[in-house]
Amino acid sequence: MAETKRDYYEVLGVDRNADEAAIKSAYRKLAKKYHPDVNPGDKEAEQKFKEASEAYAVLSDPEKRRKYDQFGHAAFDQGAGGGGFGGFDFNSADMGDIFGDIFGDIFGGGRSRRSNNGPMQGANLRASVRITFEEAVTGCDKELELVLKDECNTCHGTGAKPGTSPQTCPKCGGKGQVVYTQQSLFGMVQNVRTCPDCNGTGKIIKDKCPDCYGTGYVSSKKKIAVTIPAGIDNGQSIRIRGKGEPGINGGPRGDLLVEVQVSRHPIFQRQDMDIYSTVPISFPVAALGGTIRIKTVDGEVEYDVKAGTQTDTRVRLRGKGMPSLRNKSVRGDHYVTLVVEVPTNLSHAAKEALKNYDMANDNSLNQKGGGGKPKKKGFMDKLKENLEDL
């Protein structure tokens, strides 16, 4: 029993009234998804690829599509011994353009709809600069020394020796592209790729400039001023336009991207626009209260500690954080964690004073059970007390 074929419109997922562009777009997506080179060894994918290709070969041809719309698959049942699927020859279908696109996506080459010898922007350059935490708060100016390319003054960027000029590439005829013919499952396919002789420029330099050796550019060290805005964070980049690689064929220069590396601070830590730090306070200040001095990025500020402050208490200093990149007058906050220091080297007098303090309160040093709350009396303790009363 012959296998029932799916409707070609259903295979491509298009409406029966779909135009040529919609049919081509639908097939291109399926062909890229199920192409055997993308799915090596996958028989199911290979079958779907063949099925979609058969559908496209019919629906992309106006005459074949007319017959299919009228008679369905029966229009191609006769002469099933012919080439291709379903009794018709795929070589008669116009597959060159679409397979050039598909093979180009898969293999990195492919067809190009425009020449490569037009003006193109130069490549971007990357550099890095290190600044301190304080410089990130206030902003600063830095100077970088980089090796940059400039147009050769001798040949004015042509790359040719003075008195000569570049010649049209004989391989591509000045187009910058060459056509390759490739055998596929459906016949010969033409692919357009960059000319290997002129690298897409369309020109060949026989007599090279002695100063730039045919490149059209000379390299030299240059100092670039970089203005780093207040509030910049570690890893963020600054774009300096027009300081990258020179353009091609009269195109504009690329940009210079400077990554900013902010050094760690021994006291401060940053999270977005807020700053965090830890400040130790003495036990008397924590118990009785008092004024302490806290270091901030703006200098020291005074803060009044409340009596009875516990360790790990967090206080907020408004507007003492990092400035915003968009508006340096807008700043985050500084959060300070107060840690009560326990004294380690007490004098005899200090120890006696601390014992007196303890006795004046809950006498925790003499309580059984290790201090803190009094030890709860058990049954035997109560029984012993009752026997002593007898």
Which pLDDT band holds residue 305 (cuts at 50, 70, 90)? Answer: very high
Q: For the chain, which residues make up each domain, given as ranges? A: 8-94, 125-262, 269-340, 352-389
Q: Provide the residue type at 353 as one letter.
A: A
- Taking the C-alpha atoms of residue 284 and residue 290, their distance in angstroms, rounded to an integer, is 9
**pTM for this predicted structure:** 0.56
For residue range 43-82, list pLDDT tens digits in order: 888 888 889 898 898 898 888 888 888 888 877 765 433 3
Q: What's the half-sphere exposure (Cβ side, CA atoms, 13 Å) at 26?
A: 22
- Residue 174: pLDDT band (50, 70, 90) is confident
Rounded Cα–Cα distance for residues 390 and 385 (Å):
9
**Residue 243's closest CA among 128, 150, 159, 171?**
150
- Number of neighbours of residue 50 by Cβ within 10 angstroms: 17
- 3-state SS track over 198-251: CCCCCEECCCECCCCCCCCEEEEEEEEEEEECCCCCCCCEEEECCCCCCCECCC
Q: Which residue would you say has higher pLDDT here, 179 or 319?
A: 319
Mean pLDDT to the nearest integer, 169-195: 77
Helices 62-71 and 43-59: crossing angle in degrees, nearest 10, is: 100
Given this model, what pLDDT does residue 107 score?
Answer: 46
- What per-residue confidence (pLDDT) applies to 63? 87
CATH number at 269-340: 2.60.260.20
Tell me which fold the domain 8-94 belongs to. Answer: Helix Hairpins (1.10.287)
Average of per-residue pLDDT across 34-40: 78
Give me the mean pLDDT over the 348-368 stretch.
79
How many alpha carbons lie under 13 Å from residue 333 in its C-beta half-sphere?
7
- CATH code of 125-262, in short, is 2.10.230.10
pLDDT, tens digit, for every residue of 119-169? 778 889 999 999 999 999 999 999 999 999 988 888 888 888 898 888 888
- With vertex at residue 215, the alpha carbon angle to CA 209 and CA 216, rounded to the nearest 5 degrees, is 70
